[in-house]
Structure 1
């Protein structure tokens, strides 16, 4: 029995990294209710190992893969060492970026806390952690008071809703939870943004009036026009300062000193001084715009689907699949202002997401999702802590952020150093986005809501341009599918006319994605590069269909891997342009790599290592398929 201890621990540790721990959506088809899927798994006492479509049980123990293990066991530590070697005090360029470093907790090392996004998250992590405890406690207190008042109301003969049936109990639960979300949302906005909360509520009210007040045919165009205009207005108005608004109404000019004595202008300046914990509310409002569009369009589509309720479709409302939660409209009375505000400013997901549709939010408020289990939530929290530790160690030993901000002479770095710094920079970008998304999703799970997981795979575990966008910011990808891509007709490359239309669709989608992130030219270039990089992979799929290579599976796998190496190179380049060094920075890095023969030699070596790494990625997907897990990324 003593020997079983370590194996039990290892099994539990491995469970942290199961896809089911990350999100049950990855292991349960979207059309199957979770409880049904669990019952089906329980019925299978022993699942035999399956054979994949190439006739293999797995390649992990083959001679080919042992070669990969040896090479990767050398390459990965070398990459980390290469970045660390230029981040030591002994490096001659260290003094140029030293002032951007902060004292660290690893002995003998400073930390590169120069990234504004991660710096803000790191500095406020303790306070946000307290909020994760405070918010659910407030809900429990609210539930206790609400239940007490409802009981008293029933006893005294008031019109409190009865609790006789499951449907009525679900309606009561919805009203109880959304009322709390509405009240907490108002308080949350005031604490975060001070007087600017009024601006946010004003924007939300206009959007609500568009959905509920305009004739039906005008709702979609008016929704898109209004929200895109808000995107641009937020960018160029600097958050609509009250002082500027006062000066506009008084007719004063910014250079008019007399106007500063105006009571209205002074009042505006005073209100600007009380702007809450996050004064620049407009920076993070882009995520709220997605929810505004979701509410309006879900309501618009509900007007044509009044007979599509779970009862009419003979479905168990308490055990809906995710697809049904999203596609089946909420009840007509659920599209009210209280629920709208509770959804749009739902505290755990307000600042960064993940993104939920309005229909899904209402369905989960009415019935607690079966996917929320205490054990899984605890494992998810532990996994979050491991990711946080990985980020902290990365920033203690790799100073790429500080190096980049110090306007370095990239030609002073070797090709290997430039490439590895750039590649690890993408990992830091991935981690700084992953951490807030997982933290706020964890908060939602604690609160009884299960939003989609935003990141399925590590940034280093992607070889397909198309699949990369299905796994990166996954909830946003799903939002784009539902509200832009599918309404525009999707994509098809059967004929040249359909192909041209599909390319235009992709351009529209990624132009919106770029503008939604920020209104900057480098992001537009990034979005268009992504579409351009889609085309080789799509063309290869049509020119080299899998069914024509059934007799030569190994040759087909090698050919796909060679193409995937090119995909990785293109994705790295596009993301460096969009989120790291910009177009000029990428050009400088490329000049540094290709300045002499050693750069070309390193590129050949890097492509060989990538080839082997991608073979491992292929086998990871094949292992998932053998377990019955079918993911498109």
Structure 2
């Protein structure tokens, strides 16, 4: 039994998701992490046995309540029944009413067919043509895939790609090149939103094949991240080589420092971000191969140019050749897909939220409609990202894992953003937050800049910009409380105080996301009205806050357990 539990815990551990989440190979760094953890596990204490009992009672009750609020037995069922489709699981109907996920779900077989085609084509090409550099294949296949995916709209994307390349390579002043890259990159988002359907004025282009994904501008946002990464990595490398030449008193390009780059040593994940590539690697074929890399083209995860070229042409990370690890990752992907299918077949919460069919429901039921809606949003993003990352791992490129925590395993707004869309978070930290000064004297201003870009990148709407600024404002109480109370971290009551803060944080994050993505204004106001305007609502608030407090204590100990293994992902 112990071995079975150990195997299950290992299967769902952080380390099986991404080698970046392993304990540091450096012994001193690993021991420093272990030293910060509580050396004594609390799992077998009476306190945590009580917490386990709360979980055993509460979690099934949450599922049952969400099902009761959205199934055939609910009086509101006729209001949303028309949004349901015939399912495949136990004769149940399925809630396939989310347009975004429906498109992806209906095309999963085709997507896996593309994975097989791409993987086999690379293997055959490598054997038949003895291709020495992977990027040669990626260049050709990427252009072909671009045409298949976006049809005649590919010319609009290629125009953006070309303009960005010219900016990065031919503006000689580094600071001006960076500024122009940012101005053009952000402007392209507004431009695409304004003219995405503007015709070319040429018959065969306007009336021709528009691709499998006609809305090319939606996925261009990820292309933009790769375009900017190429420019910034090139400019940084050019600057570094220039500084090295000055230090070496006249070493010429092509010798000295540049030649050392041709035989690159094994590098870890962080070192690959600034890999010492020769300038010849910042070429048009490599640029296009990177920007159009098929497994990650549609939605990422995002890998930087330096990291991609290093893995592609110099030293593929040995772990990606570990087919056992990739297979375990695939099994976790299948598990997530089955969980999603179970929820869509047994909880019709998306249809309920679309029709606002919660009249007469209790505060507990409305809150579970919202909570499981948020879980479905998390899953509908996680599943595509993991499919694309699995494809990339199978192909020999190891990008960062995007979702490393379950949505419900979060108690800190700051840590939540580190774990949500992690590769994008790493991108904005490297190219925006750190260049602006990071967490120094202007931390709040730098965070406002980061979330302003994040908001505009997601959608060209004022409400998204307001959302970005509100996120920063919501972070302030947590940052202030953390700085003030950290001095008491050795006190016996510190964890319980943090638990109270965590409960407040979780309520704030849930209400903000319920308002923005699930229940909307009406549903959120109905929930608050019921929760604080009725006796049953107040009882629910007290009991649910108690359950959240228990959950936060379990989350704390989960992270302590990771730190005792030398793992600290700071989220």
CA contact (8 A) 1:97 1:406 kept: yes
CA shift for structure 1 position 580? 2.8
**Quick one: distance in 2 between partners of 1:595 and 1:400?**
24
**1:344 maps to which residue?**
291
Shift of 1:235: 1.6
1:488 is paired with a residue of what secondary structure?
coil
Aligned to 2:323: 374
**Aligned residue for 2:518?**
580
Structure 1 residue 310: deviation in Å?
Answer: 9.1
Q: What do the CA deviations read for 1:398-452 (whole angstroms, capped 9, x no partner)?
A: 11111111133x4522110111111111111111100000000000000000000
1:17 aligns with 2:12: yes
Question: Do residues 97 (structure 1) and 80 (structure 2) align?
Answer: yes
Cα deviation, residue 51, structure 1: 8.1
Q: CA deviation at 1:593?
A: 2.9
Residues 527-546 of structure 1 mapped to structure 2, 5 A cutoff:
527-546=468-487
Q: Are 1:363 and 2:321 counterparts? A: no
Residues 71 and 609, structure 1, Cα contact 8 Å, conserved in 2: yes
1:514 equivalent to 2:455? Answer yes
RMSD value, Cα: 2.5
SS in 1 for 2:119: helix
Structure 1 residues 529, 562: closer, same or farther in 2, change over 3 A?
Answer: same
Q: Deviation of residue 330 (structure 1)?
A: 2.2
Counterpart CA distance in 1 for 2:495 and 2:157 is 52
1:9, distance to aligned residue in structure 2 (A): 6.5
Structure 2 residues not aligned, in runs of 5+? 246-255
Between 1 and 2, higher relative CO (CA 8 Å, sep ≥ 6) is seen in 2
Residue 584 of structure 1: CA displacement?
Answer: 5.1
283, 299, 322: which one pairs with 2:218?
283
Report the alpha carbon displacement of residue 515 of structure 1 after superposing the two structures with TM: 1.3
Distance (Å, rounded) in 2 between the aligned partners of 1:558 and 1:10: 28
Q: Given the alignment of the two structures, is residue 489 of structure 1 paired with residue 433 of structure 2, yes or no? A: no
Taking structure 1 as reference, are residues 315 and 549 closer, same or farther at Cα in structure 2, changes over 3 Å only? farther
Conservation of the 8 A alpha-carbon contact between 1:413 and 1:592: no
Q: Does 2:504 match 1:504?
A: no
Within 5 Å, give how 1:351-500 maps onto structure 2.
Answer: 351-366=298-313, 367-372=315-320, 373-408=322-357, 410-492=358-440, 498=441
Instruction: Tell me what 1:107 maps to.
Output: 90
Q: If you compute each CA radius of gyration, which structure gives the higher value, 1 or 2? A: 1
Note the C-alpha offset of 1:318. Answer: 4.3
Residue matched to 1:303: 238
Moved more, 112-121 or 473-482: 112-121
Residue 101 of structure 2 is matched in structure 1 by: 118
Q: Distance in 2 between matches of 1:346 and 1:566?
A: 42
1:223 aligns with 2:218: no
1:186 to 2:143 alignment = yes
Q: Distance in 2 between matches of 1:430 and 1:285?
A: 22
TM-score norm. by structure 2 comes to 0.92
Q: Which residue of 2 aligns with 1:270?
A: 207
Other-structure match for 2:248? none
On the 8 A contact 2:412/2:502 being kept in 1, the answer is yes
TM superposition score normalised by structure 1: 0.83
d(CA) in 2 for partners of 1:181, 1:16: 32
Deviation readout 1:35-84 (Å, 9 max, x if unpaired): xx7xx89xxxxx99x98757542000111111111112111111111110
Distance 1:55 1:229 in 2: 49
| 1:233 maps to which of 158, 176, 191 | 191
In structure 1, what is the equivalent of residue 70 of structure 2?
A: 87
